[in-house]
Amino acid sequence: MKLLHASTLRLSLFAAAIMAFWAVLFYYAIIAEINDETDDSLENYAETIMMRSLGGEELPSRSEGTNNQFFMTEVSDDYARTHPHVFYEDRNVYIAEKKEFEPARVLTHVFQTEQGTWMMLEVSTPTIEKLDLVEAIFVSMVLLYSVLLVCIVLTNYWGTRRSMRPLYKLLNWVNHYTPGRKNAALDNPTKIEEFMQLNEVVTSALKRSEDLHEMQKQFVGNASHEMQTPLAICIGRLEMLMEDDAITEQQMVEVVKVHRTLKNLSKMNRSLLLLCKIEGGHFENKVMIHFDELLSTIVPDYEMVFEHKNITTEVVCTQPFKLSMEESLATTLVTNLLKNAYVHNVAGGRVRIVLTERTLRFENTGIDAPLHPTEIFTRFYHTPGKKASTGLGLPIVQAICQLYELNIRYAFERGMHVFELSKDVLGPDGR
């Protein structure tokens, strides 16, 4: 979940809880105020009746033409001792004029006359139906709070998103930053102190990463370049030694082994040099490459080299796959993928190459199990039983794809190992 959505959700839940709590308090405050006003009116009404009763005056009629009512009855001493003398309650009372029960506020007052008789006076006045009030308040509050909540959420979302704009801009810049490439400078002005510090920390970290990356490239490139000449000298001397008739057969076997090892080391050294050049962006000359034509010149050579494996090769071109790139890198790209398809194939296997306008797909038989989709592009990774390879073929392919913004995907489909180059940039989930 995004930070913006998480903060908006938390604020919404908090605001909803606060408003619900306030609604309950609001309801009880209204009820308390209504009861207080009603109780004052009942108290005055009861006092008037008691004063008339104690003074021997005529009592008013029970309703006085209104819904206010009173009832006075004599009670025992026990009742007077065991019950409160003043008691308020909500109760349904019968209204004779309307011939129905209605909710009312009732005051019960127990008092003693001059003769020592205990009397109980009940006065009542109609009041609001509290269930109806609850429903009315609930409906009103739901409507009001819904509007308020939507306004608060939208305002918070807009304000938070606007405040976090420098963060999104920084994330986008970091996401498109590639060490070793020409990257645009960070243009992220902000007045928020935390974001200013974050900009400085991120740019400093990437600068250190860039420096380390450059040092690594220079070290690998210089080391590979310096090793190439002595390797070539050693290989030449071994080849001269192999032509010498004075060495024994056992010595010849050992010399051949050393010669093979040095040849592999030289090959690996050249691959490392090529990787350094690709990552350093040293290939800038571009021409339009027609891969169907390039394959037509390279595939026959591999068919001849691996003729002993009886591998069937099929090239299917539904539409030409074209790309503007360095011609030598295009040859390296196709050569490495073809070599991978033949070397890791089985006797009597198949190689199928499919070209469309957007994709270049290499399929080949091999071990009947999928390979690790990420480790195969790791430098010096070897598939089981193929220790003789340099382990740099597919990393070089990946580096070339990154240089020309191609996506490369590995899959194991219907018993075939598939490497697909696509001009469409995939998302983080591979779709």
pLDDT band at residue 288 under the 50/70/90 scheme? very high
Strand 350-355 versus strand 312-317 pairing type: parallel
pLDDT digits 0-9 by tens, 239-263: 888 887 778 888 888 888 888 888 7
Residue 239 within any structural domain of the chain? yes
CATH of the domain at 73: 3.30.450
pLDDT at 274 over 90: no
pLDDT of residue 386: 60
Look at residue 272 and tell me if it is in a domain. yes
Tell me what pLDDT residue 429 has: 39
**Is residue 280 scored above 70 in pLDDT?**
no
Residue 415, pLDDT > 80, answer yes
Give me the DSSP letters along 99-117. Answer: TEEEEEEEEEEEEE-TTS-
Backbone angles phi, psi at 350, to 5 degrees: -135, 150
In this structure, are 224 and 294 located in the same domain? no
Task: For residues 137 and 220, state if they share a domain.
Answer: no
Query: In whole angstroms, how far apart are CA 86 and each of 73, 125, 127, 402?
Result: 15, 16, 19, 90
The pair of three-digit structure tokens given for residue 117, joined into one six-digit string:
């008789």
The boundaries of the domain holding residue 70 are 3-151
Question: Of 248, 279, 310, which residue constitutes the final position of a domain?
Answer: 279
In a domain, 348, yes or no: yes
Same domain, 13 and 142: yes
Model confidence band, residue 105 (pLDDT cutoffs 50, 70, 90): confident
Based on the domain organization, do 245 and 339 belong to the same domain? Answer: no
User: Does the pLDDT value for residue 67 go beyond 50?
Assistant: yes
Residue 36, pLDDT above cutoff 90: no
The domain boundary residue, chosen from 151, 183, 213: 151
The rounded distance, in Å, linking the Cα atoms of 123 and 89 is 11
Provide the pLDDT for residue 418: 93
Which residues on neighbouring strands pair with residue 323, listed in sequence order? Answer: 289
Taking the CA atoms of 268, 272, 277 and 283 in sequence, report the sign of the dihedral they define: positive
Residue 173 CA to residue 177 CA, distance in Å, equals: 6
- CA 138 to the chain's CA centroid: 37
| pLDDT, tens digit, 9 for 90 and up, residues 203-241 | 888 888 878 777 776 776 677 667 777 878 888 888 888
**Whether residue 274 is found in the same domain as residue 400:** no
pLDDT tens digit sequence for 125-148: 887 766 776 777 778 777 887 888
The predicted structure's pLDDT at residue 430: 37
Q: 50-76: buried (b, 16+ CB within 10 Å) or exposed (e) per residue?
A: beebeeeeeeeeeeeeebbbbebeeee
Q: Note whether residue 105 is domain-resident.
A: yes
Q: What is the DSSP letter of 309?
A: G
| Cα four-point dihedral sign 241, 244, 246, 248 | positive
Specify the amino acid at residue 311.
Answer: I
- HEC readout, 322-390: EEEECHHHHHHHHHHHHHHHHHCCCCCCEEEEEECCCEEEEEECCCCCCCCCCHHHCCCCCCCCCCCCC
| 292 pLDDT higher than 80 | yes
Q: Show Cβ contacts of residue 107 under 8 Å, excluding neighbours closer than 6 positions.
A: 39, 42, 43, 45, 46, 86, 87, 88, 122, 123, 124
Three-state secondary structure string covering 70-99: EEEEEECHHHHHHCCCEEEEEEEEEECCCC
Amino acid at 307: E
The strand order across the sheet containing 86-95 reads 69-75, 118-126, 100-112, 86-95
Domain identity same for 11 and 145? yes
The Cα–Cα gap between 379 and 393 comes to: 9
The overall average pLDDT reported for the chain is 81
Number of domains in the chain: 3
| Residue 55 placed within a domain | yes
Which helix (DSSP H) or strand (DSSP E) does residue 222 occupy?
Answer: helix 193-242
- Mean pLDDT value of segment 366-392: 76
**In this predicted model, what pLDDT tens digit does every residue of 155-188 receive, in sequence order?**
877 887 788 888 888 888 888 877 666 778 888 8
For 40-62, the pLDDT digits (tens) are 888 888 888 888 888 777 777 65
Please say if the pLDDT value at position 354 is more than 90.
Answer: yes
Domain termination site, one of 279, 307, 339:
279
> Is residue 366 predicted with pLDDT exceeding 70?
yes
pLDDT in tens, 297-315: 999 988 888 888 899 999 9
Specify if 100 maps to a domain: yes
Tell me: do 270 and 296 sit in the same domain: no
Main-chain dihedrals φ then ψ at residue 215, nearest 5 degrees: -65, -40
Interior/surface letters 363-372, b for 16+ CB within 10 angstroms, e for the rest: bbbbeeeebe
102 and 62 both lie in a single domain = yes
The predicted pLDDT at position 355 comes to 92
| Whole-number CA gyration radius for the chain | 46
Residue 357: pLDDT over 70 = yes
The predicted structure's pLDDT at residue 373:
81
Mean pLDDT of 333-342: 90
List Cα–Cα distances, 395 to 223, 317, 335, 342, in angstroms.
19, 26, 13, 17
Calculate the alpha carbon distances from 257 to 247, 374, 377 in Å.
15, 33, 29
In a domain, residue 174? The reply is no
Say yes or no: 7 and 135 in one domain: yes
Q: Is 359 within a domain?
A: yes
Same domain, 372 and 412: yes
CATH code (residue 252) = 1.10.287
Q: What is the CATH number of the domain that holds 355?
A: 3.30.565.10
Residue 214 DSSP SS3: helix
- 388 in the same domain as 291: yes
What is residue 417's three-state secondary structure?
strand
How far from 125 is each of 84, 185, 250, CA to CA, in Å? Answer: 20, 80, 125
Residue 384 pLDDT class (50, 70, 90 cuts): low
Q: If you search the block for the tokens 């099929």, which residue do you land on?
A: 314
Query: Does 21 have pLDDT greater than 80?
Result: yes
* pLDDT at 87 exceeding the cut of 80: yes
Average pLDDT of the segment spanning 99-121: 85
Could you tell me if 143 and 23 lie in one domain?
yes
Question: What's the first-to-final CA gap in the chain, in angstroms?
Answer: 20
Q: What was the pLDDT predicted at 281?
A: 63
Residue 405 has pLDDT above 50, yes or no: yes
